[in-house]
Every structure is written in C-alpha cells, then in structure tokens.
Structure 1
Amino acid sequence: MLRRECAVTLNCNFDTALTQNYHSQSQIIRILTESWVSENMYCPHCGHNALNHFPNNKAVADFYCPTCNSEYELKSKAGSIGHKIADGAYHTFIDRITSNNNPDFFIMNYNKQFLSVNNLWIIPKHFFIPDIIEQRKPLSANAQRKGWIGCNILIDKIPAQAKIDIIHNSMPVPKELVQAQMQQASRLYTNNLSARGWLLDILNCVNSIKTETFSLSDMYQFETLLTIKHPNNHNIRAKIRQQLQLLRDKGFVDFLDRGVYKKSLH
C-alpha cells in the first residue's frame, strides 16, 4: 500500500491491522476512523495531546478531552464531503445538540483506495441548530427497524467560519492555528437557541454576498427569506441591523460608514 505522511507526528494512514478479523464494511470503517482519532488527535480547545474514547453506547459523542472535558463526535465519509452527511436517530440528535453539553464535531473525508485521511474539519458545537438537521423518511414497514427516523447534517447551511481545517488535502494545519481559529469561532457562542439561529442566519447572508464590502441594502435583499425562517419577528430590518452590530462587536464584520460594512475576521 502506498503510504502518505501528513506530518512527522501526524500519520494520515489508517491502521488496517485492526480490522483483519472483521467483514462488515461499515464496521471496518468505524474502527479505522475512530482508532485514527484515538491515536492521532489532540484537543482543539486546550491543546491536550490525546482524546479519550467514550463507551460505544454513549449517545452522539465519541470522544472527550481528559483535561478540559470537551466532547467530540466523529462523522466520516469517503470521497468529497458533499452537501450533507448521514447521521443517526433524528430525535436523539436534536435532543443532544440543543442541550447544554452538546459536542463539537469532527468531519472526516477519507480516501477509500489508500485508507487514509484526506481532510478533517472541526465544527464547534454552537454552530449546530435544528435548522441544519434534515429529518429523513421513516424506514418502511418491511425494514428491520421499521419506523426508525434518521437524519442528515446539512453541511451547506453551516457558515464557512465554522469549518475549521485540521487536515487539508492530506497536510496538517499547525495546531496553534487550529486553536486560534477555535478561539475566534468561540466569539459567536451563545447557549440561547433563538439567538444562535439569528446570528448564524445573518452570518450566512453576509457570506453569500460576493463582494467584500456590502451595504444594508444588500442585506435587506434577504428580508423575505428571513421572514419565512422567523415568522414571529415583525421587524426583520431592525433585526438585521442588530445582528450586524453583534457581528461587528465580535470581529466578523467591520463598520466602514453609515450603512456600509466590510467582511472581516480579526
């Protein structure tokens, strides 16, 4: 097998010796990817050099940091990440991400031919809201788990600022930079789901504007969309201005002039 090293201390290759006695493809991939995290990953929050594995029956979280107690869930996919990633039971997932101890998420893209990690993101927990979780159709009456309802994580609905690279194209991002980006992303933390939803909606609107500099008029183009998403708010334009001020205070946009802003990340 061709081996690829992403760094002296971070080996991108899976340990295939661990799966010699397994035949289920899904089980093999789970063992390879989870073992890789156990053997290679540090804590992106505090920098501790190893993560511990939870027991397999732990709902939603896979790993935790023994130093700062941060929890992590791993999602992996062969080939490109695409627009969505399949997850487990819908209601279990929603309950956990809306709780006060929801986990951060590792999103891994691996090479099926070389059995190695191509890309690895971390998405901080406060970027997860019910709006980015898609409920799948219940399994049919003929299925072994009839009526079971799964879900998908809609990657496209997560702001670009939340997709923090740990490995990019088989090359690691320096640990210090990962931690700095996690610290920047933490500026957007709030445990209030409604406030979190508004802040992320406005950030996504800002990101969708193609120019670096933009105006309130540009933001007001999203008024109809935001009205549909937040039907109980009857003053959408005022809410847009309020959220832009919050994004300015948190360092994600700069105020240039009356009604004029610039994308930024200090």
Structure 2
Amino acid sequence: MDLNFNRQLASTYKSPSQIIRVLSEDWVAKQSYCPNCSNQPLAEFDNNKPVADFYCANCSEQFELKSKKAKLSQIINDGAYDTMIERINSENNPSFFFLTYSAQFIVNNFLIIPKQFFKPDIIIKRKPLSATAKRAGWVGCNIDLRKVPSSGKVFLVKNEKIIPRENVTQQFQKTLFLRQQSLDSRGWTLDLWQCIDRLDDKFSLQQVYIFTDELQLKHPDNNHIKDKIRQQLQVLRDKGIIEFLGRGHYRKLY
C-alpha cells in the first residue's frame, strides 16, 4: 500500500475541495481493499449515487469516504442531520471510511467505522444556519467518534503505519454479529460495550454496575437495568468480546 496521493491528478482542477475529493477517492480506489473480505480493488459508484462512494464487488459491502487534512479528531463534520439519521436507521446504510492526510498529501490515518456501530446518539445536531446564510435554516451534523467502542474503529493505516490486512479483516468480522440484532438490542450492546471500554482490561460485575444510572438515562423505559447489564455481558462473552473468569470477574479480549 502506497500512502502517497497521486498529485498529478490535481493539475486539472482549481477548487481545493475538488482536488482533495479526486485525490482521496483515487487513493482509496487504487490502494484500499474491502475490510470484510480483503477483495481488491474496491469499485466506485457513479458520482450521482446519494448513499455511498465505493462498494465491494465480491461481498457487496458499501462505503462512504470522509477526508480531512489534519490529525484524526473525535468529531467529524458531516452533511444534513435528518438525512444522516434516516440513513443510519435504514437497512442499506454504508460503513464509513475516515481518511486524514498531511500537508505533503501523505495518508496518515485511514480507518473504517462499520455500519453496525452507527446509532442516533453518535450523530450531533448542529445549529441551523442563520437567516442571512445562503441555505438559511439548513441543519448539519457531526459524527462523535467518542461514542464508538474501540473495536468499532478498524484502522487500515494508523499514524502512517500500515496495519496487516489479516488483522483488519479479523477485527471487522468479529463485530458482524451486531447486524443480526434489532436496533434496540444493538443499542444496548453498544452502550454497555462503550462503558466497558472505560474500565481496565480485567474488571468486575460490580464495576460495571457503576454505569447503572448512566444506562438508565439512556434507556428510561427499562426498569431492570442491572438485569440488562448481566444479559449484555453474556452476549459479549458468547461473541468472544470478553471472557468470564468466574466469581463476577471478566477480561477484555480486544
């Protein structure tokens, strides 16, 4: 994998945003691969495709690309809020590639957030544009990556280091079970997973219970939060995300 953009493509464009769009999409098409099945190269959708930028001809995974000249941040600017919420609640929402590059047009980070990790609370609504703006009243959104469990951030390139392809596909495939869950069940699993991320590699059930009030706020209609915590710990155990050590103690396997 060559981390350099093909800068020769920029000579025919004047708009900085158009230049980056062309350079980054060319790089993904030429250098990337499908994180699910390792198929290479990825195919590009037509420019008028409203949902995604790339797809895998082998396994049909779809991907949308976000690029930025900066260090990887936890808050990513995106488009219209209502469109984003509608997209992540649909069955054919794409996974998201996030690419950052240096002033020298070198890729320094390239990761994917699989679509099963997107839920409405990671989408932050921005203030409507003012009445004097060209698109007055338009409401955009940001993506809050802080609310994505660490296993949901699958790096192909991290700090200009290329991650072995087999590591990428293994991490990607390990969380596909989330796609089989209902939106409500998936939300519970991800909320608890995010809580576990904040604990040490070895932790106890009593430590997880510390998040009871926080989870109650997220799920106000559930009156049996601790029962739900135990149930979700069993789900994560059965899927190989955590290991039960006995006597109410667990260990992370990721």
In the superposition, the TM-score normalised over structure 2's length comes to: 0.96
Q: What is the Cα deviation at residue 191 of structure 1?
A: 4.6
Counterpart Cα distance in 1 of 2:237 and 2:135: 48
Aligned to 1:4: none
CA-atom RMSD, angstroms?
1.3
Residue 58 (str. 1) matches residue 49 (str. 2): yes
Match of 2:100, as an amino acid?
Answer: N
Residue 216 (str. 1) matches residue 196 (str. 2): no
Q: 2:175 aligns with which of 163, 174, 185?
A: 185
8 Å CA contact 1:75, 1:105 repeated in 2: yes
8 Å CA contact 1:126, 1:191 repeated in 2: no
Aligned to 2:224: 235
Q: 1:104 aligns with which of 71, 95, 107?
A: 95
Q: Which runs of 5+ in 1 are unaligned?
A: 1-9
Post-superposition CA distance 1:169-221 (Å, at most 9, x none): 22211222211111212233335211111101100111101x22211111111
8 Å CA contact 2:72, 2:109 repeated in 1: no
1:152-167 matches, within 5 Å, as 152-167=142-157
Q: What is the Cα deviation at residue 163 of structure 1?
A: 0.8
Counterpart Cα distance in 1 of 2:192 and 2:232: 7
Residue 253 (str. 1) matches residue 237 (str. 2): no
Aligned to 2:140: 150
Q: How many residues align?
A: 254
1:1-266 matches, within 5 Å, as 10-111=1-102, 113-209=103-199, 211-265=200-254
SS of the aligned residue for 2:12 comes to: coil
Counterpart Cα distance in 1 of 2:49 and 2:81: 16
Counterpart Cα distance in 2 of 1:81 and 1:197: 25
Match of 2:128, as an amino acid?
Answer: P
Counterpart Cα distance in 1 of 2:131 and 2:235: 49
Counterpart Cα distance in 2 of 1:31 and 1:103: 20
Counterpart Cα distance in 2 of 1:64 and 1:188: 20
Counterpart Cα distance in 1 of 2:150 and 2:125: 23
Match of 1:253, as an amino acid?
Answer: I
Q: Which runs of 5+ in 2 are unaligned?
A: none
In the superposition, the TM-score normalised over structure 1's length comes to: 0.91
Match of 1:183, as an amino acid?
Answer: Q
